[in-house]
Amino acid sequence: MSQPIFSAHDVSKVYRSGEVEVWALRGVDLDLFEGEMAVLLGPSGSGKSTLLNIMGGLDRASAGTVRFADQELTDYPDSRLTRFRRDHVGFVFQFYNLIPSLTAWENVALVTEISRDPMPPEEALSLVGLDKRMDHFPSQLSGGEQQRVAIARAIAKRPQVLLCDEPTGALDSKTGILVLEALDRINREFGTTTAVITHNAGIREIAHRVFTFQDGGITQMHVNERRIRPQDVVW
Ligand code: ADP
Ligand code: MG
């Protein structure tokens, strides 16, 4: 860990609908260091997803700046922001969004076909422990396996950052561990900077740093002296 690869500075986000204003973020600062595993905790509605989406170029801040390596994303036009996201960011969401009529391999290949320097789909699937499931359709896979296909799809383009929004939210804890193990392995093996939003405070120990959100701000930052592996978490 050394340089910040991501810097959000004084980021605010307000949603307006008629007379109603919702401040999703109120002047948040967040640096993510290259190669780090960060966990984002906090109650529902505290702004975690909004910040992740802004950092990954899915959404825009109302105020403040977002920088990625030497790129200042804040004023990028939409087309350039989309290109940044495609080249550098892998997203994983709570629901896997796989295409039901395509096999695991084909779901990953959809992304590798449009990437600049992809790994073969079979390599990405094998990294998440699915080398024996490549020809299965989503309906033939468990929830945890489907989520691992989604992770394979996200990493196959070799992104520099992996942003995961409640990746274990729909899974039981045993299956969730396999998903976290996949993220942990990718982070350790490739040094992919990773941020994971979760409601499960139990998994905070798998991160280098833990950020706690409250009412649109980060109220606490905790550094783990000893980061443990997901399989060693006591649930
Ligand atoms: P979290 O991920 O921590 O649950 P969010 O970032 O999703 O929180 O939401 C933060 C706040 O912004 C909440 O009050 C939520 O209702 C509001 N919000 C999020 N997205 C929208 C939107 N598209 N339109 C209006 N309000 C939104
Ligand atoms: Mg959320």
Q: How far apart are CA 161 and CA 73, in angstroms?
A: 15
For residue 78, being part of any structural domain is answered with: yes
3-state secondary structure of 224: coil
**pLDDT tens, per residue, the chain with 235 residues:** 568 999 999 999 999 999 999 999 999 999 999 999 999 999 999 999 999 999 999 999 999 999 999 899 999 999 999 999 999 999 999 999 999 999 999 999 999 998 888 999 999 999 999 999 999 999 999 999 999 999 999 999 999 999 999 999 999 988 899 999 999 999 999 999 999 999 888 888 999 999 999 999 999 999 999 999 998 887 6
Q: What is the predicted pLDDT for the residue at 2?
A: 67
Q: Which of 20, 22, 25, 48 to mutate for ligand 1's pocket (most ligand atoms within 8 Å of CB)? A: 22
Query: Cβ(212) to ligand 1 under 6 A?
Result: no
- Hey, whose CA ends up nearest to atom 16 of ligand 1? 45
What type of residue sits at position 20? V
The alpha carbon of 41 and the centre of ligand 2 are apart by a number of angstroms equal to 10
Q: How far apart are CA 172 and CA 144, in angstroms?
A: 9
For residue 52, being part of any structural domain is answered with: yes
For residue 46, being part of any structural domain is answered with: yes
The alpha carbon of 10 and the centre of ligand 2 are apart by a number of angstroms equal to 20
Indicate the number of domains in the chain: 1
For residue 115, being part of any structural domain is answered with: no
The alpha carbon of 112 and the centre of ligand 1 are apart by a number of angstroms equal to 31
Question: Could you write out the DSSP letters of every residue in 8-73?
Answer: EEEEEEEEEETTEEEEEEEEEEEEEETT-EEEEE--TTSSHHHHHHHHTTSS--SEEEEEETTEE-
For residue 104, being part of any structural domain is answered with: no
Full residue range of the structural domain in which residue 193 is found: 4-96+160-232
3-state secondary structure of 147: helix
CATH label of the domain that carries residue 181: 3.40.50.300
Q: What is the predicted pLDDT for the residue at 143?
A: 95
Q: What is the predicted pLDDT for the residue at 81?
A: 96
The conformation of residue 206, written as its DSSP 8-state character, comes to G
What pTM value is reported for the model? 0.95
For residue 105, being part of any structural domain is answered with: no
Q: Are 229 and 181 in contact (CB under 8 A)?
A: yes
Q: What is the predicted pLDDT for the residue at 173?
A: 86
For residue 137, being part of any structural domain is answered with: no
